Chain A
Amino acid sequence: EAGVAQSPRYKIIEKRQSVAFWCNPISGHATLYWYQQILGQGPKLLIQFQNNGVVDDSQLPKDRFSAERLKGVDSTLKIQPAKLEDSAVYLCASSLARGDSYEQYFGPGTRLTVT
């Protein structure tokens, strides 16, 4: 079974530029998550999709971050404009459903450096 795919793996941009990350979840997984992991901390949930609808974006900085999941499969996360504090690893995860018994499968992440 193929895992969660993310690209790019690494990205370096200057502050005020924009950047986009792509995620392809495990086939058949209805729920998709984007997390931000700052160095030395645990991952923090940014947004959660159920199929192509948003069910939780309470911690997404909506003035600069946006995400979409067209057709309920792939997803993109965008930052515009980027700030220095956005330097982090952005992790995508998917699960069969939202229920508690459904484990989340994580991708390798995209490491973003904002200079």
Chain B
Amino acid sequence: DAKTTQPNSMESNEEEPVHLPCNHSTISGTDYIHWYRQLPSQGPEYVIHGLTSNVNNRMASLAIAEDRKSSTLILHRATLRDAAVYYCILRDVQGTSYGKLTFGQGTILTVHP
């Protein structure tokens, strides 16, 4: 499985933007970049995903580098509810692993009031 590298932790203040980086230098041409987050004592929840172009949805934006070896999840205005572990995942679209999510350690985001 292709691997991602994320900082162990990051901190932000409420109502400020947050940029969560992810490196994936061994990404293949068919790997999609997915982001999930896990709030305390809950199961993970989908945030956003993309292949080559930047993506926006109601929760966040995903900026993908031109060479696809890195990406950044952008929370435009952090709230206390955004405090969670954020996982950057390369989703396999081939073979028996088709559709599988392989979680790493993720980034623990702390949001200060």
Contacts and interface: CB of A to CB of B under 8 A. Distances in A.
Interface of A: 4, 31, 33, 35, 41-45, 48, 55-56, 58, 91, 93, 95, 97-109
Interface residues of B, number: 24
B100 A48 contact: yes
Given A55-B96, A58-B96, 14 more contacts: A41-B105, A42-B104, A42-B105, A43-B44, A48-B100, A56-B97, A91-B43, A98-B98, A99-B99, A102-B99, A104-B36, A104-B46, A105-B46, A106-B43
Q: Say what secondary structure dominates the interface of chain B.
A: loop
Q: Say what secondary structure dominates the interface of chain A.
A: loop
Interface of B: 32, 36, 41-46, 49, 85, 87, 91, 93, 96-106
Contacts, number: 60
